[in-house]
Amino acid sequence: MLPPLLKPLIPILSLLSLVTGLSCLALEGKPNVLLICVDDLRPELNSFGANYIKSPNIDKLAAQGRPFHRHYVQAPTCGASRYTLLTGKYGPSHNGALYIRSQKIEHPSFPAWFRKNGYFSVSVGKVSHHPGGRGGSNWNESDKPEMPESWDRHLLPAGPWQHPRGAMHGLANGEIRKNAKNMDVYQAFDGPDTAYPDGLITKQALHQLDELDKLADKKPFFLAVGIIRPHLPFGAPLQYVEPYLKAKLPPTPHPLKPSGKTTWHGSGEFMKYNRWKRNPNTDADFALEVRRHYAGCVTYVDALVGRILDKLDQLKLRDDTIIILWGDHGWHLGEHAIWGKHALFEESLRSPLIISYPRIPQPGKPTHSIVETLDVFPTVCELAGLKIPAYVDGRSLMPILRNPKEKGHPAISYGKKGTTTIRTRNHRLISHQDGAFELYDHRTPDAETKNLAEDQPNLVMQLKKTLSERLNSKE
């Protein structure tokens, strides 16, 4: 109990407490930014509820920051999703989105905005659509950048994979995908981390951290590191796959092909690889092996992320750095009889997002508020003390960083053939260009397997109106 003489000071003390709490969110000076992008990473991490996955390094980052358990991407494909992350804007739904932008730059990108504000910007690995951020037949032509005016350095150490295109789908020891049917869909090689392209990407990222720490003018840095795994083919060093080879995994929810009009597809990206004439939709043992190798790739990624974060600590940069770990979209492992992305179901669109920075309130407390990839650019601007550009389509997540129980907002996504979707707290509406709708209620066990559109036309129209207004307001 407070002494009587202090009771009149309670309002003042409360105000001071609030101001102090808010000031802890703004880092002194210009903090560094470390953006880690992971390809095809569904929220299959221990810290996101998958207790059968070994992900200690990402889990530690989640415990030090804010894990967003209901983060949704704008598009279920690499190029379009990364377009949104790197521009802060809605965009085309296909993988050529960044090249369209490169022909006509209307606004500075996420890294370009920081570069314009005094940052030294570096990308390593797959940050934009192509590893290394360039075009051409082998994705290595310097006069064809995917993100013009964005990077002081953009790097991809190809090693024995010869070029970025070779590294993108590379298997152990320099195996390059030429005809996918001749490349195994999964692999576990008994060798070091550098037997796969991500090992070299991580090694270069560590070197860049050393170099950035030595910048003569002590500029703050914006370092983006793009890890390719667990993208197909599911190849990883044996040490990471081995713990799963006899592991029991939980059953796949809703494994049957949906009926009616949906965004279901035949998993062409997966099926074109050598599968030893096996189909995971009809062969339960094979489906389990695929899932085990995906899990091994996730643990491999986790080890590489840990190495990057350890280097940050060794250089004593953690207290001056905002860290973002972002998955570019989800991935189906048999849900709805899909093995891949490209659908507008939950599994394609939900991915992990973690934001960590010094003195974050309630570190480790997850939020279940709905947010979007669009929101990352403005959030990092506000955290770094930079003006949020007027042209970005997202909104800052600072209220949720202050308080994980703060409300989020509906998430908008889009796919092929003019399909669009909105995800609210309880529902998902998918709108097809021909006027058909899918409405799903996530409060029921049926989730996204029972279309309720005909039963609830008023809710369909309400959600359709919100969806249209959001997309039309950004044109």
Tell me the catalytic residues.
Answer: 78, 129
Give residue for tokens 């969110």.
Answer: 25
Taking alpha carbons only, the member of 472, 414, 331, 376 closest to residue 75 is: 414
Q: What is the rounded CA–CA span in Å between residue 312 and residue 196?
A: 23
Give me the sign of the Cα torsion angle 275, 298, 209, 81. Answer: positive
Structure tokens at 388: 């949020």
Q: Are 55 and 302 in contact (CB under 8 A)?
A: yes
Give residue for tokens 């314009």.
Answer: 116
Q: ω into residue 11 within 30 of 0, thus cis?
A: no
Facing residues of 420 across strands?
Answer: 414, 431
Pairing of strands 120-125, 153-155: parallel
Phi first, then psi, for residue 202 (nearest 5°) are -65, -40
Phi first, then psi, for residue 464 (nearest 5°) are -60, -40
Structure tokens at 260: 């009616």
